[in-house]
């Protein structure tokens, strides 16, 4: 690992233990004051440390926020475990649970459809956010800058004739998703597969999404939409578990 990265991490550990001045940190790490000042300025720019009114450095608000999100996402799968299995028993379709982890959306749990047909998704695999129900359910809750961080650069791969191919088209879709409170993948990644999805929120905002997925020949998109009240109820129960 880069020595500069290791040193930055140790500086963060040091100010987390006790707020320190530039001089104190320079002495602790055996650096010239000007070198330590540059290190702190870089950490301050990304929000990992902040300078207090008395000239000491302490943890930055962004780092504190990221820590909170990390703890919530570690809890998400556990909080959702029984709820999504209860949902699966009621609907029989494949259930996906996805989490927003930093600048990525990742599948963190899944209960397979009873007919045994296996789908692309795997626990631990990144979600394609622009052509998935869970991806759009999460993106609709984010501001423009956060969306920019999550979305891959255009042009996007077109998987079916329904795949959205531009940011402009996606933003229009996300405005509709945010207004109605749910998203769908109507054959956008796999032509024969549809899903509906809703966001999961905590006190700090969106942390993930929950979806019901089915083969079109088993349950078309109109029939899936009838599952929305139950899907919303399950997501709300998971949110309550998170606190």
pLDDT in tens, 144-182: 999 999 998 888 999 999 999 999 999 999 999 999 999
Query: Where do the CATH 3.30.450.40 domains begin and end in the chain?
Result: 66-242
CATH superfamily, region 66-242 = GAF domain (3.30.450.40)
pLDDT band for 67, please (50, 70, 90 cuts).
Answer: low
Helix (H) or strand (E) holding 116: none
pLDDT reading at 66 higher than 80 = no
The alpha helices in 46-192, defined as continuous H runs, are 61-91, 133-139, 144-150, 167-180
Q: Give me the pLDDT at residue 72, please.
A: 54
* Omega cis (within 30) before 155: yes
pLDDT in tens, 50-65: 998 888 998 887 876 6
Mean pLDDT to the nearest integer, 122-129? 84
β-bridge mates for residue 95, sequence order: 111, 212
β-bridge mates for residue 20, sequence order: 57
Query: Where do the CATH 1.10.10.10 domains begin and end in the chain?
Result: 3-59
Cβ atoms of 57 and 21 within 8 Å: the answer is yes
Mean pLDDT to the nearest integer, 79-102? 92
Mean pLDDT of the chain: 88
Mark 97-131 as b/e (b = at least 16 C-beta within 10 Å). Answer: bbbbbeeebbbbbbbebeeeeebebeeeeebbbbb
User: 3-59: what fold?
Assistant: Arc Repressor Mutant, subunit A (1.10.10)
Cβ atoms of 11 and 49 within 8 Å: the answer is yes
pLDDT band for 74, please (50, 70, 90 cuts).
Answer: low
Q: Give me the pLDDT at residue 118, please.
A: 60
Confidence (pTM): 0.70
Q: Give me the pLDDT at residue 1, please.
A: 47
pLDDT in tens, 202-243: 888 999 999 999 988 888 899 999 999 999 999 999 999 887
């Amino acid at each position: 690992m880069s020595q500069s990265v290791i040193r930055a991490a140790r500086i963060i550990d040091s100010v987390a233990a006790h707020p320190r001045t530039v001089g104190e940190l320079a002495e602790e790490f055996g650096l010239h004051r000007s070198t330590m000042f540059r290190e702190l300025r870089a950490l301050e720019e990304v929000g990992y440390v902040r300078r207090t009114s008395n000239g000491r450095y302490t943890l930055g608000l962004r780092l504190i926020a990221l820590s909170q999100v990390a703890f919530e996402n570690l809890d998400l799968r556990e909080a959702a475990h029984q709820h999504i299995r209860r949902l699966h028993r009621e609907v029989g379709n494949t259930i996906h649970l996805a989490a927003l982890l930093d600048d990525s959306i990742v599948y963190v749990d899944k209960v397979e459809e009873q007919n045994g047909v296996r789908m692309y998704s795997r626990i631990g695999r990144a979600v394609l956010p622009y052509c998935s129900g869970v991806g759009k359910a999460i993106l609709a809750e984010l501001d423009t800058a956060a969306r920019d961080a999550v979305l891959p650069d255009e042009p996007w791969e077109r998987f079916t004739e329904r795949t959205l191919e531009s940011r402009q088209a996606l933003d229009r879709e996300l405005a509709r998703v945010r207004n109605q409170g749910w998203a769908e993948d109507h054959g956008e990644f796999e032509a024969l597969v549809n899903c509906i999805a809703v966001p999961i929120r905590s006190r700090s905002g969106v942390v993930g999404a929950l979806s019901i997925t089915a083969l079109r020949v088993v349950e078309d998109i109109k029939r899936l939409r009838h599952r929305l009240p139950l899907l919303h109820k399950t997501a709300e129960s998971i949110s309550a578990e998170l606190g």
